[in-house]
Each structure stands twice: as structure tokens, then as C-alpha cells.
Structure 1
Amino acid sequence: MKGLAHFAILSDGRKVDSPRFLRRAEKKLKKAQRELSRRQKGSRNPEKVRLKVARAHAQVADARREFHHQLSTELIRENQAIGVEDLAVKALARTRPAKSVHDAGWSQFVAMLEYKAERYGRTLVKIGRFMPTSRTCSVCDTVDGPKPLNAREWPCPACGSVLDRDVNSARNVKKAAGLAVSACGVQVGPGVTPAQRDEAGSHGFTPGSPAA
């Protein structure tokens, strides 16, 4: 596995690249941490080096937070309803691409979507993690068998549609979110910046899958 190919995939087919803030800053962080480890207790200016390490980590966190703010605001402003896949992020953080999972900060991003949805009168629906979104054909709803992680595209055995693993999953998230909203009778409030009628009314959103 090579980390995360994308930060997120939307139901309209858009794939948001993973900025990989931590990975891009690793060289700078490792250099600062090595310098800190060489400074023995009581040696000259150890506090200066600790501040350098802290600043490097803060810059990564700030860049990630700004990215989350920009993307979450864009999604909330352009859509009346958003469906997100509720993945087991803590479990993923114990797998091989754990560093990439932490770097993406999905939990923080979804938390931003939640409070912004409430602020602007949008509807946010979380789709259960056990729903077979990647194995269900978003065209004909046929559920196929499990696929290995390196299978990124395949034809539906029922209708023949060629399915992109992540885009197909995002479209199923959008479909499931729409059904949930209809079943619960959830009303979308009048947002401060409402989406226009000719804009996409809703979006399915799924975190990027680990790259094989």
C-alpha cells in the first residue's frame, strides 16, 4: 500500500487529491527532531530546538485545518444535503496506511461538516459503515461479491456498467442519504447562503481509499 490516493471522492465523480501535509513536512520534522535528540539535558539552547519542532508540527496542523475549512465550506455552500460514509477511522489508524489516515484527518473534517451543516441549515446524513457501498452497483443496485483492495474498476455482472470503486461508493452514499432523508422527513432549513436550484442539490461523500 502507498498511502491514500485521494482525500475524498464525491458522487459527481470529482476526486479530491490528498494534500499529505505531514508526509510533505517529514524531512523538515525529522531534521528538527534529530537535532533535539542530540541536545542533552542542560546543554545550550535545548528549548529553542523544542520550539522549532513544535512550530513545524503546528504548521502542518494549521495547513490541514485550512484545507478542511475550505473544502467543507465549499460543500456546505453548494449542497442542501450531504451524505458521508461513517468509516471506522480508529480501526483504519491501526492498519498499514495509518500515517496517511492520521494525516488526512477525516474525523476532524466530518466534524466541520456537522457544525457548518447546522449553522447553514443543511442536512448531513451518516451512512453506516457496514453498508456495502463499494460492492453495490450504483446503476442497477445489484450487490456483487467482495473485491480485493487493488481492484479499482470492474464491470457490473448484471448490467455491464463499468464501476469505479470509489466513485461508485460515493454515488451509493448519496442514494442512501436521499432515502434516509425521505424516510425521516428531514426538512432542510433556509441556509444563510442557500444553494441555487440549478446547483447540485445533494452530494455523496466517501473518504479516499488506500492505494494498492
Structure 2
Amino acid sequence: MASHHLLLLVLLAMACCHAIASDPSLLQDVCVADKTSPAHVNGFTCKDAKDVAAEDFHFSGLHKAGNTSSSKQGSAVTAVNVAQIPGLNTMGISMVRIDYAPSGMNPPHTHPRATEILTVLEGSLFVGFVTSNPNNTLISKVLHKGDVFVFPKGLVHFQFNNGKGSAVALAGLSSQNPGVITVANTVFGSKPSIADHILAKSFQVDKATVDLMQAQF
């Protein structure tokens, strides 16, 4: 009986740990990232409190449109995460501005460490995400100015400008460093490349098609 109680306690502990897993939590008022520290931790070490300044919590630039012409997909992402605001360290949040040219898109990608909530500031977007195996269900919707949509953590999602003019969106993410895995870049643009016979079998196409795709990246 004692062994059963012990097993139950272990299972409960594992469940609790899984439930609260997220960015490192605050144990003090602020923990401004010290990017010069040689210490390797899951996040950033804190710089000395006496060196903390207002600029550690400030970023200017989201009023400026991103250069969509420099992207093959016709979109530009302006990120505001711990790399731009050191004061976000341990806060568990970040944000981005996304600009879309007409017919531009933010291609299928995932954020391995964050849920995303997006609101359209200008224009119209067709957005969606795909649920995990085995169903792979597409959940999609057309958004207009003022509309909000949520992309669950880790799921592949996209945004496409289906309007006649440019579009702008602002998104919040539940991590100081959400990460981005763009599906096409990851699969076809890895260095070194994934062997074409592996990708050919995975996608059920011939190797020539895979070689053509890899050449784009």
C-alpha cells in the first residue's frame, strides 16, 4: 500500500511540474538580462540592480512599417522580445508587428515556446492553424480590422493578406523568446541539407522535386 501512495505522489508531482512549465518565473521585481555574462542558463542572468535603467524596459520603432519588399513572401516582422528589451527577462511575454504587402504572407511556422494572440490593425488577413496528428485539422478565418485570433503554442500557423491593400497586425506572445520555426526553411533549407531521398519518401515525391525545393533555400 505504501508503494501505491508513493507512486501516486510521484505522478502528481510530475503532473504539477508539467502544468507550470513555462518561461522562468520572477522571484524579484526585475531581472534585466545581462547579455555580457559568460554564465549559460535557460534564459539570461540578471545584471546588477544598481545598473538597471529605464532604457532596459523601452523600445521605439513599432510605428515604422517593415520593409515587405525585402522578403520573397511579402511580409516583414518587427520583433520586440528580450533581445530588444532586456527588462523582459523572466517576464514571459513579447510582441511583434507584422506588415504584409498585397498578397503577402507570413508563411507556415510555429513558435515552440509561445501561444500567440494577433489583432489586425489595418487591412484583411486570412489566417489559420493546423491541429496535431492524426487529424491535422485546419482551423481558419478571415480577419478584418480590429479582429483578434489565437494561435495555440507549438502548432503550425500562417497569415495571408487577402485584401487589396497593405495589412498590419500586432501580436503578443507568451514567452520572452518565443522562437520561430518556419516549416519550409527548416525542411528544405537546413545546413547541412536533409538527404533528398529522405525528403522524397517523406513527401511522396521524386528526388528531382526535392532538389528543386532545396535550391530555393
Flag whether TM exceeds 0.5 (same fold).
no
Q: TM-score, normalised by structure 2?
A: 0.22
Q: TM-score, normalised by structure 1?
A: 0.22
Greater relative contact order: 1 or 2 (C-alpha under 8 angstroms, separation 6 or more)? 1
Higher helix share: 1
